[in-house]
Chains A and B, each alone.
Chain A
Amino acid sequence: MSAHVRDMLFDYLSGEIPGEETASLEDHLAQCASCREDLRMLREAVDVLPRKGTLPSDERDEQFWRAFPAEVEARITRRRNAGTSLIADAADRITSFIHFNGAQLVAGSGALALIALAVLLFHRAPAPDARATAEKGAPPSITVETGAVKFHDYLKKSRVLLIGVSNLRTDGAIPIDLSVERRQSRELVHEARGLNRDAMDTRSAKLVGDLQKILIVLANSDEKHGAPDVEIIRSGIRHNNLLFKIRMTESALTAATYERDTQ
């Protein structure tokens, strides 16, 4: 899937691309399962948003409304500074959409929807808990929640990638194809830059930093030097005991989340 097509999906849903481009995009969608899946997720996310003409919520106090635009702006700025992925970019655009259509949209509902949206986008799955929280009118903690979700998601994706690379066969019997791994590691390198900006505890930050070194090598690996590159990456994974540290941190995040939620 090209980045160009990805960039058009939100506009397509909004009915904001010209007719000839619409036809071309729909042709592509008919052939590309990956883009269709992204479109489906984006549609689900947009469906969570309030429709035009919804009345403002009376459940939020003045302080919330005063803080809300600044929080959204800060979030947009952080994402732009960090470099954006499809998902982050879509989130930004939807956030802006809410923000700049304030007269017609309910910003409060938008904020609540954003919690569900963030979970939808980052988890790629429905998020009943997030919706339930939103419906209960709990205070939005967009940055904190998405920060934790992003970190956990980043670790999970990194683990899958490192397991795959650790088990690649490099005996020369089959030419090594690293295209899938390169693409994924590039996305993770971008995500890691965003995570580092959040300045987490030193142990987690070190883990992200160690992972970053490996992912950058992988993102810049070359089929011609496939086997040596893979050996360097494996050596880095072992030297830093990365799979162990990722697995333990994932467990700790899960356990700490449980502890926090049950207190």
Chain B
Amino acid sequence: MKTSMLPLGAALAVILPLSAGYGQSAAPLAEDQFTWETAPSRGENKSDAGYTLYKEGYALVLEERYAAARKKFEELLAKYPGSSYADDARYWTAYSLKNSDREKAIEDYKRFIREHPKSSYFDDAVADLNALQIEMPEMPRGAAAPTPPGFPRRAPGVPIAPNTGNLLRQLKREIRHMARSGGPAHAPAPFAGWREEEKLDDATRLKMDALYALGETKEDDRSFSTLRDVALDTRQVHPLREAAMDALSGFTKHDALSVFVEIAQKDTSADLQGFAIDYIGEHGTDKNQRVTVLEDLFRSLPKSRADQRRTIVYTIADVGNDRAVDFLKRVALADEDYDLRRDAVYYLGSIGGESARSALYDILKGH
């Protein structure tokens, strides 16, 4: 795709004003920049004749018969242009184009976002557009090609979504953990090779076994203090500290969270900081508490710690509750780091649901 956009993220370039660049605040969009949809409300729509065609088209999408699906949706739009299923038809038309005509699909998604900002598919269209546009091989080098933490190599045209690196790192951590603790033998094929990357001497392996054994025993003060000391001890080798963190992650009666926060805030290893942030995001059953801790951590980190800040944004998005959505909206609207704002928009689209959609709508309007 030939794009005249500044080096912005895909959906952000559509959602936020095109004139905004790095370090700039987003100005609100003029109302006439968008065609506000005027489809009949659901309550008024007692017998929408487009419904049958929509269901037929959607069934074809599920069967992955995209050309046939598009014909159904075209028929719907031609016969019943005022149908309340028009936005459904347009969304699935764009989706159906992804496999055959990516550029046309991108244009259709952009059009959808402009014309149906109040559609329930709005968030899905944002997420799809982001994923699609990032894959575009014609994107200028360096433009819309974020290098996610943990996944440094990136060439133009390589299919990758923002911050995939966070998930890759989490998966690597889990796979390494499984390999060490004798868990399930299989990882998804693309990840399988990661099991082989670690060569540990016998003494280290033995210590790791002991740490994992501590994590498996009844949770007591002594076990906790031992694991905490190893996790925080910067003189220890990383595998041992990772194993201690892993063992602590199962502790519920002791304050393992503060150990992870201390590592995330103060440690000198970016890898271990990333692991600590992951553990905070997964710790305990109270999602609001997790998000609150991560938000505090986010605020406490200097702007220069860009990787950790990105990891925190991803981890909060992974929690995905309303509090997380509020945080992402604030980042998307006001953070100084434009990459972070782009990530936040992408995550909001990927989370979906009413609150995320509402946040995206507010971002679109600039407040």
A interface list, Cβ under 8 A from B: 33-34, 37, 124, 141, 144-145, 147-148, 151, 157, 160-161, 163-164, 166-167, 169, 171, 173-174, 177, 180-181, 184, 198-205, 234, 237-238, 241, 243-245, 247-249, 251-260, 262-263
- Name the CB-closest residue of A to B151: A255
Between A and B, 6 residue pairs with Cβ closer than 8 Å are A166-B352, A174-B47, A203-B171, A251-B160, A252-B167, A254-B159
Closest to B354 in A: A238
Q: How far is the CB of A81 from chain B (nearest CB, A)?
A: 16
Task: Say whether, besides A173-B48, A254-B159, A248 and B164 are in contact (CB < 8 Å).
Answer: yes
Contact assessment for B42 and A147 in the assembled complex, using a CB-CB cutoff below 8 Å = no
Mask, B286-325, CB within 8 Å of A = 1, is: 0000000000000000000000000000000111110000
Q: How far is the CA of A39 from the CA of B164 in the complex (A)?
A: 38
Instruction: Say yes or no: A244 contacts B320, CB within 8 Å.
Output: yes
Residues of B with C-beta under 8 A to A151: 188
Contact status of A256 and B191, CB under 8 A, knowing A167-B121, A248-B167: yes
CB contact under 8 A between A203 and B120, given known A180-B55, A184-B62, A248-B164: no
CB distance from B332 to the nearest CB of A (A): 15
Shortest distance from the beta carbon of B346 to any chain A beta carbon, whole Å: 9
Report whether A260 and B62 are in contact in the complex, using a CB–CB cutoff of 8 Å: no
| B95: chain A residues within 8 A (beta carbon) | 160
Decide: A247 near B189, CB < 8 A? Known: A203-B170, A256-B168.
Answer: no
Identify which of B42, B64, B188, B350 gathers the most chain A CB atoms within 10 Å of its CB: B188
Residues of B participating in the A interface, judged by any CB pair closer than 8 Å? 42-43, 45-48, 51, 55, 58-59, 61-65, 68, 84, 88, 91, 95, 120-121, 124, 127, 131, 151, 153, 158-161, 163-165, 167-168, 170-171, 174-175, 178, 183-193, 317-321, 347, 350-353
Instruction: Give the CA-CA distance A145 to B95 in the complex, in Å.
Output: 26
Residue in B63, B193, B350 whose beta carbon sits within 8 Å of that of A243 in the complex: B350
> Is there an interface contact between A174 and B184, defined as CB atoms closer than 8 Å?
no
- Please name 8 further chain A to chain B contacts, defined as beta carbons within 8 Å, in addition to the given A174-B51, A243-B127, A244-B347, sorted by A numbering: A201-B178, A203-B174, A243-B124, A244-B318, A248-B163, A248-B167, A254-B159, A257-B190
Chain A contacts for B59, CB-based, 8 A: 180
Let me know if B159 and A258 touch, CB within 8 A. yes
A51 and B319 CA atoms in complex are apart in Å by 54
Chain A residues lying within 8 Å of B64, measured Cβ to Cβ, are: 124
- B interface majority secondary structure: helix
A249 and B186 within 8 A (CB): no
Query: Nearest-CB distance from A156 to chain B (Å)?
Result: 9
Cβ–Cβ < 8 Å partners of B347 in chain A? 244
A237–chain B nearest beta-carbon distance, Å: 8
Enumerate chain B residues within 8 angstroms of A262, measured Cβ to Cβ. 153
- Point out the residues of chain B lying under 8 angstroms from A254, CB to CB: 159-161, 164
Q: Which residue of B lies closest to A254 (CB)?
A: B159
Residues of B within 8 A of A161 (CB): 62
Q: Are A247 and B350 in contact, with the CB atoms below 8 A?
A: yes
9 nearest A-B residue pairs (beta carbon): A241-B320, A148-B189, A251-B161, A256-B190, A199-B184, A171-B42, A180-B59, A252-B167, A257-B190
Give the distance in Å from the alpha carbon of A88 to the alpha carbon of B317 in the complex: 36
Given A151-B188, A184-B62, A199-B186, also A238-B174 (CB < 8 A): no
B189 touches A160 (CB 8 A): no
**A40 CB, min distance to chain B CBs, angstroms:** 11
B317: A residues at CB distance < 8 A: 244
A167 touches B120 (CB 8 A): yes
Instruction: Please name the residue on chain B nearest to A174 by beta carbon.
Output: B51
